[in-house]
Structure 1
Amino acid sequence: MAVVTGAARGVGEALSRRLSEAGMQVALLGREERTLCEAAASLTTPSICVEADVTDREALARAAEEVARQLGPASVVVANAGIAAGGPFARTDATLWERVIDVNLVGAANTARAFLPQLARTRGYFLQIASTAAFGSAPLMSAYCASKAGAESFALALRGEVEPAGVAVGIAYLHWTGTDMVTGLDDHPVLRALRRNQPGFARRVHSPAQVADWLATGVARRAHQVYSPPWLRWCQPLRPLFPALVARVARRELRATPAADLAADVGLLGVGGQADWDAFTAGDGTKRPGQPAAE
């Protein structure tokens, strides 16, 4: 039985479908309850949806209990939930910046904390979804890059702790993936420049379904590293070079972009991120200062 967080759309939804097609029962966790449950209902194996915020430890503990009660203990847990915000650090609302870190990094740790007892019982597999953002940090994406680098480091540390108990930990490195996060990719000056300066094969945007196939193969193999696309494995030895290369491209692009244009491009990327922010701010019924209104 598999648990996938951030499963309402994008890679999470596609991976849930792929694991179901492989015969696994799936528990889909996320913030968008209606979309989440529609996705669960369309799967071919018995599956459930559980609305939960990965930054809420109590909610995740309840979700873990519900999953075990309905489907049994998890043998696979995929920490996929993630959001992204773009724009200059100094102009990004502090609460929004922290929210990206909380969802992408703290949320991954909370997911592991909630489900490790089940994985220990099943000698299961925990897959942390990271990104090539961990290879080299791009300006205007400080929270996302920091969170993905942190998620990678967390998973590496966790691996050494839980392997004696028979639990395997994998890290998935995703490159350009066709989710709603990259819908406005060409409007983001640094990301546009980084992609433009990559070889043709590296500029390709892969569909969530294709990425889900690579991830499902990694799950089946209990792989320590999963690369999406597979050629990324050859980038690992070159990682010491990437920060300088990214900085060089970014510096050239930022110098050529008017400050007013950079200041105007601040906010969340994608429908999923906006849905999380709307749910997060619904507690007091207000938007935090500096955060754009919902689309």
Structure 2
Amino acid sequence: MAPLAGRVAVVTGAARGIGEALARNLSAAGMHVALLGREDKTLRQAAASLTLPNIHIEADVTDRAALEGAARRVAEELGPASVVVANAGIAAGGPFAHTEAELWQRVIDVNLVGAANTARAFLPQLTRTHGYLLQIASTAAFASAPLMSAYCASKAGAESFAEALRSEVEPDGVTVGIAYLHWTGTDMITGMDEHPVLRALRRNQPAFARRVHTPDQVARLLAAGIARRAHHVYAPPWLRWCQPLRPLFPAVVARTARRELRALARAQFGADTGVMGAGGRADWDAYTAAHRPRP
């Protein structure tokens, strides 16, 4: 972790879960962290737990002007960022036809467009510091699960965006990494055993692949990857051996999902449509309050 000491890191989605745990790990490694997120109270609490000077900024990653303002604050108050982690993300479950179009779009906007906005706002600083951008992806990019169409599409898109960006910015001394996360015990997967496809996918995986990792376990792996400026970070590490097998995964997931969905009445698998997790609900509530017309 020595290469990180004294440098500045920016973590989006830092109010809770993996983002909050990663901010703690980077601070413990000697970094000054800027925590960006949607929930001001929770963000303040996360920032207060860090040992080194830091700042917290309430910002929506889909708002380019807000991110540009956040970037200016980071440079002025902490110094130019050497590490930026595009971690902000939400998920919505349920059949595509039953999911509110605005919610489906919001998942894409936060997870994919928000990642691009984050990169755009902080690339000038990363170019100056010859820094490192880490895009948080998921095994959802390996194969798409029914009832999770927006989340899977956004994570596959975020992976593709990061791969394209990597080649563009390498000549400027900027490294782009992609982190692949599996089952992680955040509020996003609370109640996953009630989600028919997630339950079936997990049940049909080998025992070691069904393990749910804590946000702190995942954050330690991410922090180690950041210190190495790794092109790929796997949490858990055995995921690296899945890369050569990726062409097989869509067919396997599709077969498992079809079997599970055939066993359910349509009313059952459409019952839990909506945003997943407290962080996602906070974002959706803030978005709808700001964008929907008042009566």
Question: Which TM-score applies when normalising by structure 1?
Answer: 0.96
Matched residue, 2:11: 4
Matched residue, 1:31: 38
Matched residue, 1:58: 65
Matched residue, 1:291: none
SS state at 2:36 partner: strand
Amino acid at match of 2:109: D
Matched residue, 1:144: 151
Measured in 2, the distance between the counterparts of 1:183 and 1:139 equals 18
Answer yes or no: is 1:230 the counterpart of 2:273.
no
Cα deviation digits, residues 178-228 of structure 1 (max 9, x gap): 000111110100010000000000000000000000000000000000000
Matched residue, 1:256: 263
Matched residue, 2:125: 118
Amino acid at match of 2:13: G
SS state at 1:265 partner: coil
Answer yes or no: is 1:176 the counterpart of 2:183.
yes
Measured in 1, the distance between the counterparts of 2:199 and 2:244 equals 25
SS state at 1:283 partner: helix
Identity across the alignment (%): 78
Q: CA deviation at 1:38?
A: 1.3
Q: CA deviation at 1:28?
A: 0.1
Matched residue, 2:100: 93
Amino acid at match of 1:263: G
Gaps of 5+ in 2: 1-7
Measured in 1, the distance between the counterparts of 2:166 and 2:21 equals 26
SS state at 1:178 partner: coil
2:215 to 208, 211, 220: 208
Measured in 2, the distance between the counterparts of 1:96 and 1:105 equals 14
Measured in 1, the distance between the counterparts of 2:42 and 2:26 equals 18
Measured in 1, the distance between the counterparts of 2:60 and 2:95 equals 27
Cα deviation digits, residues 112-155 of structure 1 (max 9, x gap): 00000000000000000000000000000000000000000000
Measured in 1, the distance between the counterparts of 2:89 and 2:132 equals 19
Structure 1 residues 284 and 129 mapped into 2: Cα distance closer, same or farther (>3 Å)?
closer
1:267 to 261, 268, 274: 274
Cα deviation digits, residues 20-66 of structure 1 (max 9, x gap): 00000000001001110111111001111001000000000000001
Measured in 2, the distance between the counterparts of 1:67 and 1:33 equals 17
Q: CA deviation at 1:284?
A: 4.5
Matched residue, 2:24: 17
SS state at 1:282 partner: helix
Q: Name the Cα RMSD after superposition.
A: 0.9
Measured in 1, the distance between the counterparts of 2:128 and 2:255 equals 48
Measured in 2, the distance between the counterparts of 1:41 and 1:73 equals 22
Amino acid at match of 1:241: L
Amino acid at match of 1:31: R
Q: CA deviation at 1:286?
A: 6.0
Aligned residues: 287
Measured in 1, the distance between the counterparts of 2:273 and 2:185 equals 21
Structure 1 residues 284 and 225 mapped into 2: Cα distance closer, same or farther (>3 Å)?
closer
Measured in 2, the distance between the counterparts of 1:24 and 1:63 equals 18
Moved over 3 A (4+): 284-287
Measured in 2, the distance between the counterparts of 1:58 and 1:195 equals 40
Measured in 2, the distance between the counterparts of 1:140 and 1:284 equals 26
Measured in 1, the distance between the counterparts of 2:285 and 2:293 equals 9
Question: Which TM-score applies when normalising by structure 2?
Answer: 0.96
Amino acid at match of 2:235: S
Matched residue, 2:135: 128
Measured in 2, the distance between the counterparts of 1:284 and 1:180 equals 25
Structure 1 residues 286 and 271 mapped into 2: Cα distance closer, same or farther (>3 Å)?
farther
SS state at 1:45 partner: coil
Matched residue, 1:277: 284
